[in-house]
A = this chain, B = another copy of it.
Amino acid sequence: MQILKDNIRKSILDEAKKEFLDKGFSDASMRTIASNAGVSVSTIYTYYKNKDELMTEVCMPFVNAANAMTIEHHTADTDIDDMLNPDSQRETARALIAMVKKYRDIIRLILFRSEGSSMNNFRDNYTDRTTAHILWFFGKMKMKYPDINTDVSNFFLHANCAWTLSIIGEIVSHDLSDEELEKFTNDYVKFSTAGWAKMFGKNT
């Protein structure tokens, strides 16, 4: 029975994901989801309060993974050097890309097809959170190395965080081979480490 119910849950979530991706949240139809999942519309409502919650539930796996990664990242004892260290950056980028590939569909759903749902806030929330973390990190670094230049425009930091999300969006929108992704990673790291070095005034 438990198994049966889990099957139904999964079936509903799967079909909901397809329908949301296909039509976008607003234009998706609960009927279609139910019909494709082989259950009645009302059954969906016994599992999920409403359309929005269904959407949220569909996105949860990624949201959880993203939160976990964020926490891990935030608690890591990184130093300013890590931002300038290509190897360290590459590692971080690869981990991110691995996760992006894993949650490809959900990410596409959240970034491009969530209009009208509460998941549509994810983009802004995520950027804001990441930005806040960077600011806190910069403060910490300034304490540690008083002579580096951390006088960086808040909005530039924000834009940089948004870039990450933008890149994620581009990755999930295109079908890239592993080689392309690796090459991209190298280029990106080259570009951004050089950029940050310049920002920090370490690039005499």
Q: A: which residues have CB within 8 A of B?
A: 24, 26-27, 112-113, 115-116, 124, 127, 152-156, 158-159, 162-163, 165-167, 169-170, 173-174, 176, 180-181, 183-184, 186-188, 190-199, 203
What copy number does this chain have within its complex? 4
Report yes or no: B199 in contact with A197, Cβ–Cβ below 8 A.
no
Contacts A159-B166, A162-B169; A198 near B188 (Cβ below 8 A): no
Chain A interface, DSSP helix/strand/loop, else mixed: helix
24 residue pairs bridging A and B, Cβ less than 8 Å apart: A24-B26, A26-B116, A112-B115, A113-B115, A115-B116, A124-B173, A127-B170, A152-B187, A155-B170, A155-B176, A155-B181, A155-B184, A156-B184, A156-B187, A158-B170, A159-B166, A159-B170, A159-B184, A163-B163, A163-B166, A166-B166, A190-B198, A191-B196, A194-B199
Which of chain B's residues have a CB closer than 8 A to the CB of A195? 190-192, 194-195
Give the CA-CA distance A84 to B183 in the complex, in Å: 22
Which of chain B's residues have a CB closer than 8 A to the CB of A176? 155
